Structure 1
Amino acid sequence: MSKQVPLSAQKRTHQGKGAAGRLRKEGRVPGIVYGYKVDPTPVSVDALELYHALHTEAGRNAMIRLDIEGSTHLTLARDLQIHPVRQETLHVDFLAVDTDSQISVEVPIHLVGEEDVAPGGGVVNQILYTAPVLVRPLDVPNSLEISVEGMEIGDVKRIEDLQDQLPEGAEFETDPDTTVVTINAPVSEAELEALEEAVGAGEETGVEVEAEAQPAEDVVAEPAEAEEA
C-alpha cells in the first residue's frame, strides 16, 4: 500500500515565466496545490526532495504529506511537466485528497513467472501495463502482479484475474474482460522477412497487428511552453 512521504512546500508570491525560471535555477520546482479542503495555492518544492518522493516503491502513486508553511495536506502528484531533454520536472500539480473518499489511480501491472511459460516456444505479449483502480488513498496498491507461469500458446489473462489483489472496497474502472497478457505463437525468421517485404510493397498481408498499450507517461512540455502558473 502507498507509503506517506513528507515533503515541504513554500507558497509562491510571484508568478509568471521569469519567477518560475528563477525558482528552477535555485533548484526548486514550481507547482500548485488544489483539491480537498484547500484553495488553489501556488507553491514550490525542492527538486531533489520531489524526485525522492516520487521514487519510492509506490512510484507516482506515493501519498505525499505536503507541509505548506505549517499547514499539512495529504496529496498525490499529478500532471508533471517534464523537460524533453534534461528530464527535469518543470511543474507539478498536487491534488489534496480525502482519506475516506475513493480516488482514481493507474496501478502498474508486473508479470511474474516469465521464465516458466509452458514449453512450446510461446512469446509473452503484455498488452496492459497499468490498471485504472478506484480506491481509498491509503489503500492504493504499489503494483499488481499477474503470473504467466505454465501458460501456453493461445492462453490469455484478463483484468478479472487481478481482482483478488484489490483492497476491500476497491474496484477496477475497466471491463473485467480487458486483456492483460497473451501467449502468442513465435514467428519464424522467414515469416517475419516475408511479412516485412509485403508491408514494404504495400500488399495486403492478411495479418492483423495489435498495438501494445504502453504505460502512462508524464506530460512532456517543450521548454518554451512549460506551465508557469
Structure 2
Amino acid sequence: MSKQVQLSAAARTHHGKGASGRLRREGRVPGIVYGYKVEPTAVSVDALELYHALHTEAGRNAMIRLDIEGATHLVIARDLQIHPIRQETQHVDFLAVDTDSQISVEVPVALVGEEDIAPGGGVVNQILYTVPVLVRPLDVPNAIEVSIEGMEIGDVKRIEDLTAELPEGAEFDTDPETTVITINAPVSEAELESLEEGVGAGSDDTGAEPAPVDVIVEPAEAEEA
C-alpha cells in the first residue's frame, strides 16, 4: 500500500514566470494545492525533498503529508511538469484527498512468473504498463501483480482477470475487456529474412517507390517492466 511521507511547503505570495524562475534557481519547485477541505493555495517545495517523496516504493502514488506553514493536508502529486531536457520538475499540482473517498490513480503492472511460461518459446507482449484504479487513498497498491506462469502462445490476460489483486472496495476504472498481456509466437530468423526479402521485392524498374509495408517483430525475450 502507499507509504505516507512527510513534505514541507511554503505559501507563495508572488506569481508569474519571473517568480517561478527565481524559486527554481533557489532549488525549489512551485506548485499548487487544491481539493478536499483546502482552498487552492500556491506553494513551493524543496526540489530534492520532492524528488525523494516521489521515489519511494509507491512512486508518484505516494501519500504525502504536506505541511503548509503549520497546516497539514494529506495529498497526492496529481500532475508534474517536467523539463524536456534536464528532466527536472518545473511545477507540481497536489490534490488534497479524503481518506474515506475513492480517487483514480494509475497503478504500475508488475509481471511475475515470467521464467515459468509454458514450453514453446512464447514471447510476452505487455500492452499496459499501468492500469487505472478507483481506490481509497490509504489503500493504493504499489503495483498490480500479474502472474504469467504457465501461459502459452495465444493466451491473453485482460483487466477482468486481475480483480483478485485489488484491495477490498477498489475497482478498475476502465473496460474489463481491455487486454493487458498476450503471449505471442516468436519470429524466427528465417521468417524475418523472408519478410525483409518481401519488402525488397516490392520495388520495380519504373523507379517508383514500393508501397510501405509494416513489419512488427516481437523480441526473442521480453524484459520485465
Contact 1:122 1:185 in 2 (8 A): yes
Q: Are the structure 2 counterparts of residues 62 and 196 from structure 1 closer, same or farther at C-alpha, using a change threshold of 3 Å?
A: farther
**Contact in 2 for aligned 1:112/1:147 (Cα 8 Å):** yes
How far the C-alpha of 1:203 sits from its partner, in A, is: 4.5
TM-score (norm 2): 0.87
The aligned residue for residue 188 of structure 1 is: 188
CA contact 2:187–2:217 (8 Å) conserved in 1: no
Checking the alignment, whether the CA contact within 8 Å between 1:83 and 1:90 is kept in structure 2 is yes
Match runs of 1:161-176 below 5 Å = 161-176=161-176
Residue of structure 1 equivalent to 2:57: 57
List aligned pairs for 1:68-147, cutoff 5 A: 68-147=68-147
Letter in structure 1 aligned against 2:30: P
- RMSD of Structure 2 on Structure 1 (CA): 2.0
Q: Which amino acid aligns with 1:71?
A: A
Task: From the superposition, tell whether residues 47 and 207 of structure 1 become closer, same or farther in structure 2 (CA, over 3 Å).
Answer: closer
Aligned length: 210
Note if contact 1:81-1:91 (Cα within 8 Å) is conserved in structure 2.
Answer: yes
Look up the match of 1:11: 11
SS of structure 1 residue aligned to 2:84 = coil
Higher relative contact order by CA 8 Å / sep ≥ 6: 1 or 2? 1
Between stretches 153-162 and 38-47, larger displacement belongs to 153-162
Gaps of 5+ in 1: 211-229
CA-to-aligned-CA distance 1:24-72 (integer Å, 9 cap, x gap): 1111000000111111111000000000000001001001110000011
**Change over 3 Å in CA distance of 1:32–1:204 after alignment to 2:** closer
* 1:208 shift after superposition: 8.3
Matched, 1:152 2:135: no
The percentage of counterpart residues that share the same residue type is 83
Check the 8 A contact 1:134/1:172 in 2, yes or no. yes
SS of the aligned residue for 1:98 comes to coil
| In structure 1, distance between residues paired with 2:82 and 2:214 | 40
Give me the TM-score of the superposition, normalised by structure 1.
Answer: 0.86
| Contact persistence 2:82–2:90 (CA under 8 A) | yes
Q: Which runs of 5+ in 2 are unaligned?
A: 203-209, 219-225
Cα offsets for 1:61-113 (capped at 9, x unmatched): 00111000001111010210111111100000001111111100111001011
Rg: which structure is higher?
Answer: 2
